[in-house]
């Protein structure tokens, strides 16, 4: 992030005055050097820590133009003792968009100052070449930070500014579709899905990526059993030899009436069974747990799968 030498004399660097550079397109880089480097106790050639010299802001107000946006990025100006190396360290930033009766701001990361290297430089070929008198917006951002800059922007446009929270990206779930049985469901991205079809049933196996090296549970499985004689779900369950624990509850999945029950054995199991719309098959979702409770993350993921299950 080193932008090179100041391009101005040292006495100018500590003059405690505002300076700026026009970057084009209504954007400007403005700064104010407020602190000279303190050489007390320092010696040339040593690993001397950098020191803050002041603050800079990269601003653009195009709310009234075609772009209809504005941004404020604030930086610390850092200097290395006994050198002319000066660079910017990003602090924070904000983007602003117009609304009918108010301006909407959203906190963002300050743009990496390395981007400035791609913008036109002053004739001196250096940054911090003073060719622009900073405006009130720049001064407010430099001295008071982003909050002060927003207040100034609000004053100039005669509209209040409201903060808008950035949208939290929601991971797009994966989808499995069975052409054989005509159903589909979405499952979280942090699961691996495998299938094992045979003459008896269609077996779908879901395991979290974090559990991939575990030799046993936890996992979620979905099996589809043939039921040509239309046996009740309870009889299908009992025919599979489950050691049922507690009461069997009624439930509904994808518009089909089903049952929900717990079973014990080597591992704890949570089970849901429901028929296909034609009644010729029974779908069985099983959550096999080692130590995790049924209402833990795996159980919640199973509920999510059932909630979006479709025929």
222-245: pLDDT as tens digits = 999 999 999 999 999 999 888 899
Q: Which of 166-174's residues contact partners 24+ apart within 8 Å by CB, and which partners? A: 166/106, 166/107, 166/108
Say if 5 falls within a structural domain. Answer: no
Residues 14, 145 share a domain: yes
Query: Could you report the per-residue pLDDT of 67-92, keeping only the tens digit for each?
Result: 889 999 999 988 888 876 777 889 99
Domain closes at, from 113, 134, 163: 163
Report the DSSP pairing between strands 201-208 and 268-275: unpaired
Residues 153, 22 share a domain: yes
Residue 271: strand, helix, or coil: strand
Q: For Cα atoms 305, 262, 296, give the angle at the middle one, nearest 5 degrees.
A: 50
Residue 79 has what pLDDT? 81
The dihedral built from the CA positions of residue 253, 258, 260 and 265, taken in this order, carries a sign that is negative
Residues 228, 142 share a domain: no
Task: Say which residue, 85 or 102, is predicted with more confidence.
Answer: 102
Helix (H) or strand (E) holding 75: strand 69-79
User: Mean pLDDT throughout 141-165?
Assistant: 93
Backbone angles phi, psi at 218, to 5 degrees: -90, 150
Residues 56, 1: Cα–Cα separation, whole Å: 14
With 0-12 / 13-18 / 19 or more C-beta atoms within 10 angstroms meaning exposed / middle / buried, residue 174 is middle
Domain closes at, from 163, 191, 215: 163
Q: Which domain holds residue 247?
A: 174-307
Residues 208, 129 share a domain: no
Query: Could you report the per-residue pLDDT of 26-41, keeping only the tens digit for each?
Result: 888 888 888 877 778 7
Residues 159, 21 share a domain: yes
Residue 120 has what pLDDT? 47
Q: How many domains does the chain have?
A: 2
Residues 206, 132 share a domain: no
Say if 3 falls within a structural domain. Answer: no
Task: Say which residue, 260 or 202, is predicted with more confidence.
Answer: 260
User: Mean pLDDT throughout 93-114?
Assistant: 87
Q: What percent of the chain has pLDDT over 70?
A: 83
pTM: 0.53
Residues 39, 144 share a domain: yes
């Amino acid at each position: 992030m080193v932008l090179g030498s100041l391009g101005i004399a040292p006495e100018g660097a500590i003059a405690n005055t505002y300076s700026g550079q026009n970057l084009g397109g209504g954007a400007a880089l403005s700064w104010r050097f407020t602190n000279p480097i303190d050489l007390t106790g320092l010696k040339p050639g040593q690993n001397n820590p950098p020191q803050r010299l002041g603050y800079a802001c990269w601003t653009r107000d195009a709310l009234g133009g075609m772009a209809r946006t504005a941004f404020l990025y604030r930086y610390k100006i850092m200097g290395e003792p006994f050198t002319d190396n000066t660079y910017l360290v990003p602090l924070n930033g904000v983007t602003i968009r117009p609304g009918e009766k108010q301006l909407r701001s959203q906190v963002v990361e300050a743009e990496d100052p390395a981007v400035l290297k791609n913008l036109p430089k002053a004739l001196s070929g250096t940054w911090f070449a003073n060719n622009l008198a900073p405006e009130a917006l720049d001064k407010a951002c430099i001295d008071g930070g982003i909050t002060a800059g927003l207040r100034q922007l609000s004053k100039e446009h005669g509209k209040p500014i409201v903060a808008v929270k950035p949208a939290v990206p929601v991971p797009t779930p994966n989808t499995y579709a069975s052409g054989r049985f005509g159903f589909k469901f979405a499952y979280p991205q942090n699961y691996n899905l495998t299938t094992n079809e045979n003459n008896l049933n269609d077996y779908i196996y879901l395991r979290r990526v974090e559990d991939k090296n575990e030799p046993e549970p936890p996992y979620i499985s979905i099996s589809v059993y043939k039921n040509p004689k239309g046996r009740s779900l309870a009889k299908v369950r009992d025919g599979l030899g489950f050691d049922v624990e507690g009461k069997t509850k009624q439930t509904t999945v994808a518009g089909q009436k089903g049952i929900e029950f717990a079973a014990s054995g080597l591992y704890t199991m949570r089970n849901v069974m429901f028929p296909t719309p034609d009644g010729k098959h029974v779908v069985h979702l099983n959550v096999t747990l080692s130590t995790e409770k049924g209402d833990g993350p795996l159980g919640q993921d199973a509920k999510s799968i059932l909630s979006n299950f479709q025929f």
